[in-house]
Structure 1
Amino acid sequence: MKRFSKVFTAAVALTAALGLLAGCSDGGTDPTASGGGSAHVLTVGKLLPLQAVDPHKVNDGMSNEVLTAVFDGLYSLDENHELEPLMAESFEKSDDGLTYTFHLRDAKWSNGDPVTAADFEFSWKRLVNPATAAPNSNEAVAAGIKNANEIVNQGMDYNQLGVKAIDDKTLQVELAADVPYFQALLVRPAFLPVNEKYLDQVGDKYGQTPETTIYNGPFIWDSWDFANNFSAKKNPDYWNAADTNIDEIKWQVVKDSQTAALLQESGDLDFTEISGSLIDRYADSPELTTALEVHMWYMYPNMQNPALANKDIRTALATSYDKAALANDVLKNGAEPADYFVGKNLAVGPDGKQFRDTGDTYLAYDVDSAKKSWEKGLATLGTDSVTLRLSYWDDESSIAQAEYIASQWEANLPGLKIELTSQPKATANEQALAGDFDLYLFRWGPDYKDPMAFLELLSSTSQRDFGKYSNPQYDAIIAAARTPQMLSQPQERWDSLHDAEDILLGDVAVFPTVQNGIAMLINPKVHNMDVRNVSLTWNYRIVTKDN
């Protein structure tokens, strides 16, 4: 039997630069019960509210963060960003790499029921069940689980997914190909367990309130006022409660980073993100940390708009704003200008090199060239002016980017008028899905360590293809990259994904802006939290706070 080791190959080469992802609350936990002294209460400022705590109903960063605090999957990441076993106490892998057998540790749900392999089988099949409409169902495809692609994309019966509970403590997973990053993907909330019996009891209320959810993680979701505050207390029955330092986590939604910084200074927050001029203000503070995420900011042009259907117009827009100034002078949070779509530090290929290091660059800032493309596009359209509506979220980073880019566009492209429209993230996404936009400023954080985590967004079948881009050659590459045949030929697949990025940005299907950075103020008493948000998952298990 193979025991877990700190040494994994490419499946676990999760770098520190990578970037991110309840039971009845009656009879709550005494925060001081574990140590007998003052409670270790962690207060966290966040920009966005919690949506829900159901692993298959949400896929936003805030909800994923809370999910990984109150649930245990098979793995998480430790303080060195290496794979840490949680529910999976040990595993076996077949010689052909197509079958994994996981042996589960003893653990309980917060209602007292044992956590079993059946909870994982049910959950993973629920993930790909069309009736669930899980926004993260593609992660089962990315993991290479047998029949996942056929279920999610071709209508096969979800019960044919290659996962099976052999007994209460043994979970067997069959893969369509030997996927090198399979285990690394299992840190994602999509692969958390769900207790079928309890879900049947509470129905649609599951994950919507603390009282209608059960938990197997280090914390128990305790309260939620839907918009501003939510909290979780230490789970006294957690299998590793003795090693969990934090007694209570309190999240507070503070959309204004100026207010959040003041709360941090007053001691009301232990962690918050900041942006803009605040970064200069705290430049010499020991509490300031910046990091490059793997999240990418980019624009979707609506291809249904006659002006944006013109490639010259799109090229002019994509190359007429200064990305370096945007990153360094506007955002100032560790972001980098992006002349690419698949970000740095995301994934290592069969050649041992980062995808970005062996890729090309595209759509560089060039005002003179942009003006020529603009004039050519206007001539083709038979007009001397264009008005476009730019939609974006109502957080500070989105607003700062949108206003800066709009000003650059109007200054550099004569005849262009930009109408700015900000909305809450959920509302903006709904409008974009309905095609109600001209240009949409969007940020995406990858679900897994592979270029497909970005490239599949622009396939014709993607739910995130807001702009309605369509290129049969591109679609063919994306479809092939999911197949067992291509997965078994990693170098050929890798090269094809570079080709896909060439096609995508050659068509100017999106306008990259920056690879996102994150600037954080962290209480010096808090440890192992400084770069959690630039990884695939948060891990509150390893966070500690001094008294």
Structure 2
Amino acid sequence: MFLAACSGGKDTGKQKDNGGTTGKAPDQVLNVLESAEVPTMDSVMAQDVMSFTMLNATNEGLYRLDPDQKVIDGVADGKPVPNADGTVYTIKLKKDQKWSNGDPVTAHDFVYAWQRAIDPKTASPYGPYFMEGKIKNASDIVAKKKPVTDLGIKAVDDYTLEISLEQPIPFFDSYITFQLFYPQNEKYVKSQGKDYAKDASHILYNGPFKMTKWDGPQATEWVLEKNDTYWKANEVSLKKINFNVQKDGQASANAFEAGEADITPKLAQPAIIQQYEGSKNLLRYTEPSIFWLKFNEQNSALKNVNIRKAIALAIDKKALTDDVLANGSIPANFVVAKDFAFNKGKDFRADTGEYLKTDKAKAKELWTKGLSEIGKKELTFNYVGQDTAAAKQTDAFIKDQLEKTLPGIKINLQNIPFATKLDKENKQQYDILFSGWGPDYADPMTYMDLWPSTSGQQHMSYKNPKVDQLVKDAATTLATKPDERWKALQEAEKIVLEDDAALAPLYQRSANLLVADKVKGLAHHGFGPDYSYQWIKIVNTK
């Protein structure tokens, strides 16, 4: 999923509960600051971490992640039951699930949502990308060779689903937790027409909270309230969550100090983070989130591999992570994160290389060669980044690195809101774009299926038939051969970076946010949504 920039030690995902003192019961109201707006609340149209996190709070799919990153039941009543070859799963549903309008949540709601996501008429940015080659007939539906009703999901009865796959999926359990697979109430969605999910009053909810205030994608504040129709409502302590957008890290810290915010956005400015080093309020953890520069090969200069390699090698990643970010992030010479995907207990990164390490001398050499090959002496690129204070600082550093290292390059920075940046990325309206990716499920494929020429999330016009084939093999013929599958994905990563420099990886992020003493039970996740709020409880601290 696409990541929002920050506003300015690994653990299990749970915020430690140190208890609290007794006394008058505190109000169960949480005040949260975020660094970006919510682009959409339509689960079929979502493609970013902000939307997925809010959907995770207000809706529920078949399964969800618990605070320890384990897959637990949501609407499903028990684990999925596979057939002998792992290509068909049967899932029973609970019969007491309700939408916020009182309607029952049934198997038909899942069938409708999945079909809507894959329907070419919907133009879902994630549906085809996420289902093609995995869910039965998804590719043929996208190609308009089969009707949406042929998608590999059917309601055996009101409370039984049957999901058919093109081939076994090794990561099916985590895959099925994703927000794209949430149910939608067909009668309600159709009754709203184009107004569906345009604001808080045009959405139904079946999760821990319901959105009672949100004026749409441009809104800088929104409110969640406890959903009393949720099946585990008795386990949800919070009554209300107030969200406000704050893109300046220092302003977020000031609000936290003043008691106006209980949780800040992820902070990126070193001076702010250093103020809280050693503080019990600083929550820090390493994320499997990778940030990189994307190159739009519709630009003729960026079609040249030496130009791309020169740009990738010219940026001092260690200076970026140590001096600019200074938040625990590490240089990334890879696209599959460290300490994320394991085969037989071994990290994906353990027996593969690192690529495009900083080398300014080599960068200058390749730059000169590339300019000669395309017959240019100077090049100007439009660089698109986000509009938070930390993003602007990072982008300014990258601009300075490139312009001081590569003679004749000029970088025009364009810092814009997150939703606008997503739109430009989807439409390839950029030359160079600062972007990032957080995993959608627990497997290296969540990074590697971005790079085939057929990927619905690439948006770079990059094409290498070898990469296309290796990733396809890993998803099909090698699906049940973990060692060979691993090697195919590792080889594909090497080609994408070392051979082609299709993009320039920059860093793997460390998250740093401030959490008030009174907030217990915040869960953060390694894939899918950033957080779950349903286990939070406000406790007395005095």
| TM-score (norm: length of structure 1) | 0.88
Q: Deviations over 1:325-350 (max 9, x none)?
A: 1112111222110111121233223x
Taking the TM superposition and a 5 Å limit, the aligned residue runs for 1:37-56 are 38-56=26-44
Partner SS state of residue 236, structure 1? coil
> 2:379 matched to 1:386?
yes
Aligned ranges 1:357-368 → 2 under 5 Å: 357-368=350-361
Counterparts of 2:112 and 2:384, CA distance in 1: 39
Please say if 1:198 is aligned against 2:188.
yes
* Map 1:24-39 → 2, pairs under 5 A: 38-39=26-27
- Residue in 1 that maps onto 2:92: 103
- Tell me by how many angstroms 1:228 deviates: 1.2
Does the 8 A contact of 1:98 with 1:177 survive in 2?
Answer: yes
Aligned-partner residue type, residue 40 of structure 2: A
Shift of 1:142: 7.0
Distance 2:59 2:425 in 1: 32
Instruction: Tell me how far 1:171 sits from its aligned partner.
Output: 1.5
> Over residues 479-514 of structure 1, what are the superposed CA-to-partner deviations in whole Å (9 max), with x where a residue is unaligned?
34333x332333322221111111111111101111
Matches of 1:140 and 1:382, distance apart in 2:
41
Match of 2:262 in 1: 270
Report matched runs for 1:301-320 at 5 Å.
301-320=295-314
Q: How does 1:417-436 map to 2 (within 5 A)?
A: 417-436=410-429
Instruction: Say which SS state the counterpart of residue 457 (structure 1) adopts.
Output: coil
Deviates more, 1:457-466 or 1:165-174: 457-466
**Deviation (angstroms), 1:96:** 2.7
Check the 8 A contact 1:323/1:513 in 2, yes or no.
Answer: yes
Alpha-carbon separation, structure 1, partners of 2:130 and 2:433:
28
Q: What is the rounded CA distance, in whole Å, between the counterparts of 1:283 and 1:242 in structure 2?
A: 37
Contact 1:17–1:534 (CA under 8 A) maintained in structure 2: no
Is the Cα contact below 8 Å between 1:142 and 1:448 reproduced in 2?
A: no
Equivalences for residues 253-402 of structure 1 within 5 A: 253-272=245-264, 273-276=266-269, 277-349=271-343, 351-402=344-395
Aligned to 2:237: 245
Q: 1:88 aligns with which of 70, 76, 79?
A: 76
Q: 1:81 to 1:342 in 2, by over 3 A?
A: same
Q: Residues 388 and 141 from structure 1, CA distance in 2 versus in 1: closer, same or farther, beyond 3 angstroms?
A: same
Deviation at 1:231, TM superposition (A): 0.8
Separation of aligned partners in 1, 2:427 and 2:107: 40
Distance in 2 between residues matched to 1:304 and 1:233, nearest whole Å: 46
Residues 328-383 of structure 1: per-residue CA shift (max 9 Å, x gap) = 2111222110111121233223x432222232110111122222222222333444
Partner Cα separation in structure 2 for residue 424 and residue 17 of structure 1: 32
Distance 2:289 2:12 in 1: 11
Task: Tell which deviates more after alignment, 308-317 or 36-45.
Answer: 36-45
The 1:128/1:442 distance shift into structure 2, 3 A limit, reads same
Q: 1:64 aligns with which of 52, 55, 59?
A: 52
Q: Residue by residue, what CA displacement relative to the aligned partner does 1:3-52 show, whole Å, maximum 9, x if unpaired?
A: xxxxxxxxxxxx9679xxxxxxxxxxxxxxxxx95431111110111122
Q: Is the 8 A contact 2:384 2:421 kept in 1?
A: yes
Q: Which stretch has the larger CA shift, 333-342 or 533-542?
A: 533-542
* Alpha-carbon distance in structure 2 between the residues aligned to 1:473 and 1:17: 37
Distance 1:53 1:66, change over 3 A: same
Q: Secondary structure at the match of 2:243?
A: strand
Give the SS at the match of 2:342: coil
Relative to structure 1, the CA distance from residue 306 to residue 446 in structure 2 (aligned partners, 3 Å threshold; closer, same or farther) is: same
Consecutive unaligned residues of structure 2, counting only runs of 5 or more, are: 1-9, 14-23
Q: Given that residues 439 and 527 in structure 2 are in contact (C-alpha distance below 8 angstroms), is that contact kept between their aligned partners in structure 1?
A: no
Aligned residues of 2:12 and 2:67 also touching (Cα < 8 A): no
Give the match for residue 474 of structure 2. 481
Tell me the matched-pair count.
513
Answer with 197-206 or 42-51: which moved more. Answer: 197-206
Distance 1:428 1:496 in 2: 32
Shift of 1:279: 1.0
Match of 1:12 in 2: none
The one-letter amino acid paired with 2:32 is V
Q: Is the 8 A contact 1:458 1:469 kept in 2?
A: yes
Superimposed CA distance per residue, residues 49-87 of structure 1 (whole angstroms, 9 cap, x where no aligned partner): 112221102222111111111111111111211112121
Compute the TM-score of the two structures, normalised by the length of structure 2.
0.89
Identity %: 35
Among candidates 496, 504, 507, match of residue 496 of structure 2: 504
Instruction: Answer whether contact 2:65 2:71 (CA < 8 A) is retained.
Output: yes
Give the superposition deviation at 1:287: 0.8
Q: Which amino acid aligns with 1:326?
A: L
Structure 2 distance, partners of 1:418, 1:436, is 15
Alignment of 1:143-162 (within 5 A): 144-152=134-142, 155-162=145-152
Check whether the contact 1:69–1:539 (CA below 8 A) recurs between aligned residues: yes
Is 2:165 aligned against 1:175? yes
- Rate the CA distance shift 1:516–1:147 in 2: closer, same or farther, 3 A: same
Letter matched to residue 344 of structure 1: K
Aligned twin of 1:535? 527
CA contact (8 A) 1:83 1:184 kept: yes
Ranges in structure 1 where 5+ consecutive residues have no aligned partner: 1-14, 19-35
Supply the distance in 2 between the matched residues of 1:477 and 1:121 (Cα, whole angstroms): 31
- Matches of 1:535 and 1:448 in 2, distance apart? 6
Contact 1:16–1:80 (CA under 8 A) maintained in structure 2: no
Are residues 1:403 and 2:392 paired? Answer: no
Alpha-carbon contact 2:291-2:437 (below 8 Å) kept:
yes
For 1:137, the equivalent position in structure 2 comes to: 127
In 1, Cα distance between equivalents of 2:243 and 2:67: 21
Q: Deviations over 1:415-469 (max 9, x none)?
A: 3222222222332333344443221111122222222322222222234333311
Q: Matches of 1:219 and 1:151 in 2, distance apart?
A: 34
Corresponding residue SS for 2:336:
coil
Distance 1:174 1:449 in 2: 20
